[in-house]
Every structure is written in structure tokens, then in C-alpha cells.
Amino acid sequence: METTETVEGAGAGAGSVHYRTCPLCEATCGLEITMVGDTVKRIRGDRDDVFSRGFICPKGSTLKQIQEDPDRLRMPLVRRGGELVEATWDEAWAAVAEGLARVRATGTPNAVAVYLGNPNSHTLAGGLYVRPLLKSLGTRNVFSASTVDQMPKHVSSGLLFGNPSAIPVPDLDRTDYLLMLGANPFESNGSLCTAPDFPGRLAAIRERGGRVVVVDPRRTRTAEAADEHLAIRPGTDALWLAALANEILATGSADLGAVAPLVDGFEQLPVTLQAFTPEAVARRTRIAPEITRRIASELAGASSAAVYGRIGTHTVRFGTVASWLVEVLNVITANFDQPGGAMFPSPAHDRHPDGRAAGGRGFRTGRWTSRVSDRAEVRGELPAGVLAEEIETPGDDRIRALVTVAGNPVRSIQESERLDTALATLDFMVSIDIYVNETTRHADVILPPPAPLEKSHYDLAFTGLSVRNVVNYSPAIIETDVPQEWEIYARLALVAGGADPTASPAQITDLLADGIVAQRRRQVDAGAPGDDADLDAAIAESAGLDGPERLLALMLRTGPYRLPWSEVASSPHGIDLGPLAPRLAEVLRTANGRVDLVPEPVAADVGRLAESLAAEDDGGLLLVGRRDLRSNNSWMHNLEVLVKGRPRCTLQVHPDDAAALGLHDGGSATVRSSVGSLAVPVEVTDVVSPGTVSLPHGWGHGVEGTRMTVAARYAGANSNALTDASVLDPLSGNAQLNAIPVAVSPLGS
Ligand SMILES: Nc1nc2c(c(=O)[nH]1)N[C@H]1C(S)=C(S)[C@@H](COP(=O)(O)OP(=O)(O)OC[C@H]3O[C@@H](n4cnc5c(=O)[nH]c(N)nc54)[C@H](O)[C@@H]3O)O[C@H]1N2
Ligand SMILES: Nc1nc2c(c(=O)[nH]1)N[C@H]1C(S)=C(S)[C@@H](COP(=O)(O)OP(=O)(O)OC[C@H]3O[C@@H](n4cnc5c(=O)[nH]c(N)nc54)[C@H](O)[C@@H]3O)O[C@H]1N2
Ligand code: SF4
Ligand SMILES: [Mo]
């Protein structure tokens, strides 16, 4: 692979320089990594990366610390006599086969549940080999981090476009006006909007005379850098977005622009949203009617504008309605599918738009429901919030075994202390993970994949959410004795399907490759652009490859850009495929091939939103989360370089609230919610608005049985002890993790 060059003077003697994409967050920064032998000497931003141009955050260089972390697992662990002890891979696989078979023998396939964590979106194994694993397990008890995150966006896209994977992103580099709600890219580096150097791209909007407005109950660093900050009352974004749309409709300034011929239902909007005038929502949102009117007029009048909502608008009780309203605003201001507005990326590995008449099967949820509280299936999974009750409650189909793949639900989902207790009662649990953490300490077998630098990388998920079309492949740069991650996932799929643990994981790659070829062959036969020659070339090129590379080569050559693998593999800084282009017609999968602007399930839930208008707001404290640049959900707290310094897991309280409650900076408080209580250090700061308190998630380390030495010293508190699993966004099953009613008192009182 021509991705290295030799350099002198990189520490002890000659080194080699490698380029790869950082897999840690959604920003996909290019890294320049200097190695001497198998030791990482230096990691910095790759100035020649076609997308990130040298940008890097403090986490990017910690791929070195992850590589070297003595707590990171390099051998499987198997429980013997109650203790997790090191074992060979053969022993570990035998234990997995025995454990799964034992549970299967006494229950239905639904007795084995699976939880898929966030890093599955960041690995090739997660993107390509999870599907066969789910197929083999054949269980309806599939859970993932999606229902504590972005599921409302999938549902709004499913209902609007018939396509839950078609997620519009703000065209950051060309927009003249960005209205951003519940997102803090100065800390998160962006989400459902892949844009390395998000801060720089926001600054560029202002430099070219555009405007950035941030809506957040906290005055974040993102808000500080914007033209305007609106400190909305937590949990009320849907009300405010509805008022913006209502105002645009009422003033006659709505304009569907170029997408008008493809949009149904526009005439229903005014009635659907009639209750939500700027006056009507002011009391609940705490945003004055004249401000709402002005923003509506700015949005409608801007030469181009994009509305973008993230975690703070999704992990709330009206997540799907809020997500839908974001799209409605983009549509009715003539900014949908247009440069500078909200657009659909076109990833290079995607199937080629086949040119067939638009139309598809539409989108349905609730094909099955959860056993205990009857929650609807969405995209083949159930809300993560019901996992604990499905383990606790006796009866047929009770969950008796769990497979966790790159997840830490004991810190990341609602009522996670309850889940912790439930996991201890399972008959069998296997985890694919690099650490013994709060979740995996319950496993009977832990299968560790290689570290990031020991495996190849390509962003299957984030090229579909990216503000430019880019392709970038990174080979592994450090050799390892550990099986490749895809082999572990593939072998687990085989074992779960009853195969002998010695069966070759390459079988699964063969199956997946056959599937891709068959799908693309059907498209060619149906008259899609391209021809059999491309497909034959793809098959020939991929034949000499193995695992994910073989599948990627097939997809890229038959995808929209017809990229030969040799070209992708020899472009260490990536290939820029240009800005986003309008493509609404080809992503639509509704039955009639048109946008359903007011889908019936959403219209029904708007009724619930209208009821909430009248609800009392007693002005009590509402808890919201937050992210910190030097953290990443729950799993990077074992890296001293990131966690040292001022404590990060603090409860932020506004000075007025602190005074009223008798709290002081540096003191401690007890926070109580409907489901739990927590002791936390207090940070008094006017960054949070009055009535809002904020605590980050992913902390609460150092519990018995975990093996993360550094994290244990910077333990923090688990904010998900406070989140109520019974409160969900009904359309998506998504968790409410923000706007949680809490009571706060000085510790000990
Ligand atoms: N209160 C509150 N809770 C939240 C949130 C919030 O804002 N507030 N945010 C939610 C969101 S958006 C998310 S995405 C979830 C995250 O929820 P999870 O995905 O459950 O949690 P993570 O902390 O990301 O845990 C990732 C796990 O993967 C392991 N891991 C890391 N790299 C790899 C790898 O390459 N391969 C494998 N196999 N394993 C790996 C880590 O050791 C860790 O155990 O948390 C959610 N929870
Ligand atoms: N450094 C770092 N980066 C990360 C992660 C991390 O843990 N650390 N996690 C990654 C993951 S998994 C994800 S999903 C993304 C998330 O990326 P973002 O969505 O940008 O997440 P946050 O930084 O949590 O920003 C959410 C903001 O919403 C605000 N908020 C809370 N409630 C409300 C509300 O009711 N209304 C409004 N308008 N705002 C509200 C919070 O104050 C916060 O500032 O970040 C990713 N990147
Ligand atoms: S912003 Fe994200 S992708 Fe870029 S270096 Fe930091 S963690 Fe890696
Ligand atoms: Mo997330």
C-alpha cells in the first residue's frame, strides 16, 4: 500500500509516515502518523487531507494512548469460577458456542438479545458484518445506541421520504444562514453532519456575510461564536419550530422552490400547525414572539438557509416531531435539496442511483412490539429503554442472554443502574469490546478486537452524512496477533447460527459479496447507468482481496462514481468528489415516489404537542446533558492525557439557582429525578440559563469488577441513573435524556 514515506529524525532513527482517517468521532479528520517500528512517535493533522486540511482535536492524537493502554484487552477473557481470566481464542469461542446453545436450548431465539453500541458506526466490521450477525441470531430483541440518539431523525426521514437512511445535512460551506438547535459542534465536532473543522466552517459563514443562530439552554462555545444565541427552555424546541413554520405560512412567505413538484401535503400544513403562533409558544419556550417573528422572516428571506437540529432536539419527548419540523422549515423556505440549504450526500460506496421511476415500499414501524410494555419496533430494533424490563420480567421470550457489540449500555441508556442489576441475572453474556467496563464486567466471555491503528478504516456511515462527497480508505498500520474485527463479528455470526467455532469467517464475506453482486446485477439488468463491464471489473478487482476490502472494492466500482479500488487504495489523503448536488428524486422511497410533507403519524403526534402548549411549566429545574471536547461518550476516560486537569463531571447550576438552593461552587449536591438520585460536585456558572442544570453522561467509573485504572481515578457520576426509561418519544422509541425534571439540594440536606 503506497501510503508511507520514510522520514529521518522522528525520534530514535528513521521512521515512516502514514495517513489515515481518525475513527473516533463523526468529523473524519485526516491524521498524519509517524511510526518508528511499531511505536507511534507523533500524530498530527494531515494538512493534505482533501476534507480536513490539517484540522485535528485533542482526541485525534490519542490513538497512540489507546494503542498503548495497558488496560486495553489483547486476549479474550472467559469467566471461570466467577472470575474473568485470560483464555485462548479457541477456548473463548468454545465458551461462546456452549453459552449460546445452552440458552437457545431452553428458550426461543428471542431469549438472546443484542445491544449494538456507537463505535459500530465507526468501524468497517460494524458497518458490514453486523447484519449477518443479526440474521443468525434471529432475535426480535435487538437494541442499539440509536434509540438514545438519532432515531427520531430516521423516523422523520422514513415518514417524509420513505427512506429512513436519507438524512439531509446542512450545506455548511455554502449556506448564508444557519439556524442550529441542540447541537454543540465546538465540543462534539458535529453529528449527523460530518464536517471536519466545524468551528472553521461556522466562522466562514460569518466571514462571507452570513449569519449563525444557536438555540441552546446553555451558552456553549458554539453559541459564543455565533451571531445570536437563544436560551430556549429545555424540551420545547418542537413548539418553537412549529411557531416558526406557522409564522412563515401565516405571512404568506412560504415557498417550496425547486422541490415543489415532488411534495404532497403542503396545503395541510397551515391547519396542522395553526395552534402554534409565536405568542402561544412564548410562555413555554421562553422566546419572545417578536424574536420568533424576526427569525422566521430572516429564514424565509435569506438567499440560502439551513435549519439543523441535533441531540438537544432528538433526545426529548417530541424528538420526531422536532426532527420533522426541521425538515418542514427547510422545505417551505425553498432551501430543501438546494445548495446552501439541506441536502442529501451521495456516498461513493452507495448503490448507483438506478434511474428507475421513483417509488418504493414506504416506511413502517411497529412490525412487532416489545413483550412487556408493547413498544413498537423501529428499523428492526426496540427501544434501548426496555432492555432491563425484558430481562427482569418472567414469561416466554424473556431475555436470558445478551450479546453486546461495542457498547456500554450500563452507562449510556436510561435507568442504567437498574440495567446493571438486571445484567447480573443473565444466564449468558458475550461482549465484543476492548475494555472491561461497567457493562462488559458482566460478560462470561469478552472478545477483544484490534485497536484502531491495527485495523483498516473507511467511513461507511459518515460519508452518508457528509457536507462534501469524499472517499478515504486507510489500511491498518500496526500488525497484530488479535484476529481482525470483521473476523470476530463473522465468526460470532457463524457460531450464533449453530456452526462449529472452527468454521471459516471468509464464508460470511463470500455471502455478503454475492449479495452485493446480485443487487448490482439486478440494477444493471433494470437499465441502470453503467454496464456489465463495470460489474465484471469490480468482481475481478475484488477477487484478490479479503474481508471488508473485498466488499468495498465491489461497492465502490459499481457505485455512483465508478471508483476503481486501485485508485481509492492509493489515495492516502482521500479523493474529493465535490460539493453536494440536488438528488431528492433518487432518494425517495415512498410508495408514490413523492415527499409526504404531513405524514399521518406525525400529524397525530402534533396533537400531543398542542396539548403540551397548555401544560403548566412550574419553572422547576430541568436537567440537560453536555459534551466535552476531551471526552467521547463513556469509553475514553482511561486516557490520562484526556481526563487530567479540572474535573469535567460537574453539575452546572446558574448563580441565581445556586443562591436560591444554597449551593456553592466546588460544593456537592444531591440531584433527584423520578427514578434515582446522585451525588455530584457543583459548578456555579451563568453558562446555563436559570432553571437549567447540566451534567455530562458516560461517567460513573471505578465500580467493582471493572478494569480501567485511570477511569477509576476520575470516576465521576452516572447521569443515566436519573433518566426515566418509561418516558420515550412515542414515534421513534427514543430516550428522553434532556429536559428531565429534577430537584437539587446541598449534599447532606
Ligand atoms: N444522559 C445521556 N446519555 C446518553 C447520551 C446523552 O447525551 N445523555 N448520548 C447517547 C449517545 S448519542 C450515544 S451514541 C450513546 C453511546 O452509547 P454506547 O455506544 O453504549 O456507549 P459508548 O460509551 O460509546 O461505548 C462504546 C463501547 O465500545 C467499546 N469500543 C471502543 N472502540 C471499539 C471498537 O473499535 N470496536 C469494538 N468492538 N468496541 C469498541 C468501548 O470500550 C465501549 O465499551 O450514549 C447515549 N447516552
Ligand atoms: N467530545 C465529544 N464529541 C462527541 C461525543 C462525545 O461524547 N464527546 N459524542 C459523539 C456522539 S455519540 C454524538 S451523538 C454527537 C452529538 O453531538 P451534538 O448534538 O453536537 O451534542 P452535544 O455536544 O451534546 O450538544 C447538544 C446540545 O444540546 C443542548 N440541549 C440540551 N437540551 C436541549 C433542548 O431541549 N433544546 C435545545 N435547543 N438544546 C438542548 C445541550 O446544552 C448541548 O449544548 O457528538 C459526538 N461527538
Ligand atoms: S474531531 Fe473527531 S475525527 Fe477529528 S481528530 Fe477529533 S476525534 Fe478525531
Ligand atoms: Mo451518539
Could you give phi then psi for residue 39, rounded to 5 degrees?
A: -105, 130
- For residue 529, the model assigns a pLDDT of 64
The rounded Å distance from CA 630 to ligand 2 centre is 14
| Among candidate residues 610, 642, 658, the one where a domain is terminated | 610
pLDDT band at 8 (very low <50, low <70, confident <90, very high): very low
HSE-CB at 49 with a 13 A cutoff on CA atoms is: 30
Does 511 fall in a domain? no
- For residue 9, the model assigns a pLDDT of 44
Are 262 and 342 in a shared domain? yes
pLDDT for residue 521 is more than 90: no
- For residue 534, the model assigns a pLDDT of 83
> What is the number of the ligand closest to the CA of 459?
3
Are 171 and 212 in a shared domain? yes
pLDDT band at 331 (very low <50, low <70, confident <90, very high): very high
User: Distances from the Cα of 660 to the Cαs of 453, 465, 621, in angstroms?
Assistant: 51, 44, 12
Are 237 and 310 in a shared domain? yes
pLDDT for residue 440 is more than 50: yes
* CATH number, position 304: 3.40.228.10
Are 173 and 130 in a shared domain? no
Does 390 fall in a domain? yes
Mean pLDDT of 389-404: 97
Query: Cell digits for 417?
Result: 443502574
Are 135 and 158 in a shared domain? no
Contact (CB, 8 A) for 613 and 280: yes
Q: What percent of the chain has pLDDT over 90?
A: 92
Does 68 fall in a domain? no
- For residue 354, the model assigns a pLDDT of 61
Are 631 and 735 in a shared domain? yes
Indicate whether residue 195 lines ligand 3 (CB < 6 A).
no
Indicate whether residue 326 lines ligand 2 (CB < 6 A).
no
pLDDT for residue 5 is more than 80: no
- For residue 1, the model assigns a pLDDT of 37
Q: Which of 56, 184, 631 has the most ligand 2 atoms within 8 A of CB, as the residue to mutate?
A: 184
- Give tens-digit pLDDT for 339-350: 999 999 999 999
- For residue 351, the model assigns a pLDDT of 83
Q: Any idea what DSSP says for residue 729?
A: E
- Strand 401-405 to strand 428-432: parallel, antiparallel, or no bridges (unpaired)? parallel
pLDDT for residue 403 is more than 90: yes
User: Distances from the Cα of 25 to the Cαs of 122, 311, 695, 709, in angstroms?
Assistant: 8, 15, 21, 24
Using a 6 Å CB cutoff, which residues line ligand 1? 117-119, 123, 145, 148-149, 311, 315, 405-409, 412, 432-435, 437, 449, 625, 633-635, 697-698, 719-720, 723, 737
Are 308 and 438 in a shared domain? no
* CATH number, position 739: 2.40.40.20
Task: Name which of 525, 530, 552 is nearest 541 in CA terms.
Answer: 552
**Span between the terminal Cα atoms of the chain, in Å:** 64
Does 571 fall in a domain? no
- Give tens-digit pLDDT for 108-143: 999 999 999 999 999 999 999 999 999 999 999 999
The mean-pLDDT minimum among 54-63, 352-361, 606-615, 685-694 falls in: 352-361
Mean pLDDT of 464-476: 98
The range of the structural domain enclosing residue 256 comes to 151-351+586-610
Indicate whether residue 636 lines ligand 3 (CB < 6 A).
no
Contact (CB, 8 A) for 163 and 587: yes
* CATH number, position 496: 3.40.50.740
Contact (CB, 8 A) for 302 and 170: no
Contact (CB, 8 A) for 238 and 322: yes
The rounded Å distance from CA 24 to ligand 3 centre is 6
- For residue 12, the model assigns a pLDDT of 45
> Hey, how many other C-beta atoms are within 10 angstroms of the C-beta on 271?
11
pLDDT for residue 355 is more than 90: no
SS3 content of the chain, % helix, strand, coil (to 5): 35, 20, 45
Say if residue 205 is exposed, middle or buried (CB neighbours under 10 Å; 0-12, 13-18, 19+): buried
pLDDT for residue 602 is more than 90: yes
Are 315 and 227 in a shared domain? yes
The mean predicted confidence, pLDDT, of the chain is 95
Are 622 and 599 in a shared domain? no
Does 396 fall in a domain? yes
- Give tens-digit pLDDT for 96-106: 999 999 999 98
Are 606 and 680 in a shared domain? no
Indicate whether residue 631 lines ligand 2 (CB < 6 A).
yes
Are 732 and 677 in a shared domain? yes
- Give tens-digit pLDDT for 234-263: 999 999 999 999 999 999 999 999 999 999
The residue whose grid cell reads 413502517 is 364
Residue type, 132: P
- Give tens-digit pLDDT for 35-65: 999 999 999 999 999 999 999 999 999 999 9
pLDDT band at 2 (very low <50, low <70, confident <90, very high): very low
The residue whose grid cell reads 463470500 is 510
Does 45 fall in a domain? no
pLDDT for residue 307 is more than 60: yes
- For residue 356, the model assigns a pLDDT of 54
Number of structural domains in the chain: 3
- For residue 749, the model assigns a pLDDT of 61
Query: Cell digits for 451?
Result: 485497536
Are 495 and 597 in a shared domain? no
Alpha helices in 138-176 (DSSP H): 151-161
Does 577 fall in a domain? no
Q: Identify the sign of the CA torsion 174, 175, 181, 186.
A: positive
Does 378 fall in a domain? no
